[in-house]
Structure 1
């Protein structure tokens, strides 16, 4: 197996959980900044966040991405104590990352309870890859190591990373 110079991990939470909060458009209003079970919701991103890759890896929580038609849910076993549910066909979580030249591996951490609500897409500058957990899903947090996304950049550049339930060519899942 080819050794990679860098690792890039994006965390996406999915699974059947009750919705404590949701966003109906790109901008959730202030009523969503509430305390639930002594937890303060993550800040609402009003623009697509841009971060710079440095070091050996990035771990970025979806609840900190720019969300459109998503639910932000509490999950006590999630690394950030919250997760994101893609609730509609138009749901998305978006961020940008400035990468130096190199070869990268992208893994998504997912919690799927059943195989009917587990497949979704991660797009890097519009190139979509279908990701899904083991079959049958474990119902616990797991990296989607069955479907790592590898990419190589010949020069430094900023990539738009978009997580959606569907691609332009194939249907994925909502409600996870």
Structure 2
């Protein structure tokens, strides 16, 4: 076999060398093409992942906006009914009956609302906390009115002003909060 290789014409060696160089260039070109495709695929997958995350975040923020609106609607419904008790237009039992009826119609998922804030809108936590603090003030006034009512003092006029002011503060804070949610969703 060595004998055959030694006796081969130089043109055969050149041809063989050309085939070898061509094969190596072909392998190198294929490697470059595969490497480029892999990089391009990686960039595409990262982009798609980013777009999916943005879409999910936007959807959750939109859901937060709706959940907040539902919660506020229920809160203001209960509050307006309690104001009727404070004014002496209905008694506390009628108020409780209406609250129960409203509760059947509306379902508020505070866990979902807070989960969305915790996961998708952490920058909104301070604003949300201010709303909760204002709600606590509103609840304190309502509790004080309830104690007074249970003690036989049915005149709730003295609770109207602080209760209405607390309710207006919640309205103001939640309106700002909704705008913050909308802005986050718009840029998500």
Q: Scaled by the length of structure 2, what TM-score is found? A: 0.22
Superposition TM-score, scaled by structure 1 size? 0.23
Q: Answer 1 or 2: which has greater helix percent.
A: 2
Larger Rg: 2
More strand by share: 1
- Structure with the larger RCO, 1 or 2 (CA within 8 Å, 6+ apart): 2
